[in-house]
Amino acid sequence: MSKARDFILDIFMPTRCPCCEGFIKWDKLLCEECERALEPVDNSNEVPPAGCSAAVSAFKYDGAAKQGIYALKDGWGISFAVYTAPLLAEKLKGCGADLITCVPMAKRKANERGYNQAEVIAKELSKLMGIPYDGGLLTRRTTSMAQHDLETASERAEFAKTLYGIADGHSDITGKKLLLADDIHTTGATLSECAGRLLSMGASDIIAVTLCRTVKEK
């Protein structure tokens, strides 16, 4: 029934590739050209954000992948997250995580966008990996400033400290190993701050999971 619905919807609202905005078949998530253009990253030598034991990403934050992230942030590119989640799940196979959570978004911003993209990623992973999702662990305050507007890693780290808090009435995560999902790993300031909060709540281990990460050119 879902496939029939999607087919009918595509007649009136043609499906677009989130990475190039070109028209694609109703049952596709990305166009073939953008699939080929995505650059996988090797996580074996990844330096995780402070507070995390490991960091796992699927693609280099560049080119087609960057456009996919933009579409996801613009409120229409969920298909990029759906496409990438199985690749992350495969990388995370055997990780031993007990719970999946995500970097929180301010309620006003989530309402404007229609979703929290980090939550979309976390829920996709939860479904694919059979690991429970809990989005009620952390909170984020509303602010007019965007973290990506800050230029240096130290500025981002200081800013992140003011944003995130522990949710009232959160579930007990003592001794649990968590996957912490977000869309991009750049300086790691956001992931590090959220990981620190989760560890202070009793979590035993945190693995950062993102669709993309910034790769410094050698």
Has residue 207 been placed in a domain?
Answer: yes
Cα–Cα nearest to 203, from 147, 146, 138, 119: 138
Using 50, 70 and 90 to split pLDDT, how confident is the model at 7?
Answer: very low
pLDDT at 109: 87
Residue 11 has pLDDT above 50, yes or no: no
HEC readout, 152-203: CHHHHHHHHHHHEEECCCCCCCCCCEEEEEEEEECCCHHHHHHHHHHHHCCC
Has residue 15 been placed in a domain?
Answer: no
Q: DSSP secondary structure string, 28-76?
A: -SS-HHHHHH--B---TT--PPTT-SEEEEEEESSHHHHHHHHHHHTTS
Has residue 82 been placed in a domain?
Answer: no
pLDDT at 156: 67
Q: What is the pLDDT of residues 89-125, one digit of tens each?
A: 999 999 999 999 999 998 888 998 999 999 999 999 9
User: In whole angstroms, what is the distance from residue 209 CA to residue 87 CA?
Assistant: 11
Has residue 17 been placed in a domain?
Answer: no
pLDDT at 12: 43
Domain residues for the domain of 119 are: 39-60+87-213
Counted domains in the chain: 1
Q: What is the mean pLDDT of the segment spanning 177-183?
A: 98
For 163-178, b/e burial (b = at least 16 CB within 10 A) is: bbeeeeeeeebeebbb
Has residue 75 been placed in a domain?
Answer: no
Tell me the pTM.
0.88
Q: Is 190:117 a contact under the CB 8 Å cutoff?
A: no
Q: What is the pLDDT of residues 188-210, one digit of tens each?
A: 999 999 999 999 999 999 999 99
Has residue 108 been placed in a domain?
Answer: yes
Has residue 76 been placed in a domain?
Answer: no
User: In whole angstroms, what is the distance from residue 81 CA to residue 168 CA?
Assistant: 29
Residue 144 has pLDDT above 60, yes or no: no
Mention every residue, 6+ apart, whose C-beta is less than 8 A from residue 136: 167, 169, 170, 171
Helix (H, G, I), strand (E, B) or coil at 211: strand
User: pLDDT averaged over the chain?
Assistant: 90
C-alpha torsion sign, points 122, 56, 88, 65:
positive
Has residue 123 been placed in a domain?
Answer: yes
In CATH, what number is assigned to the domain containing residue 191?
Answer: 3.40.50.2020
Helix (H, G, I), strand (E, B) or coil at 142: coil
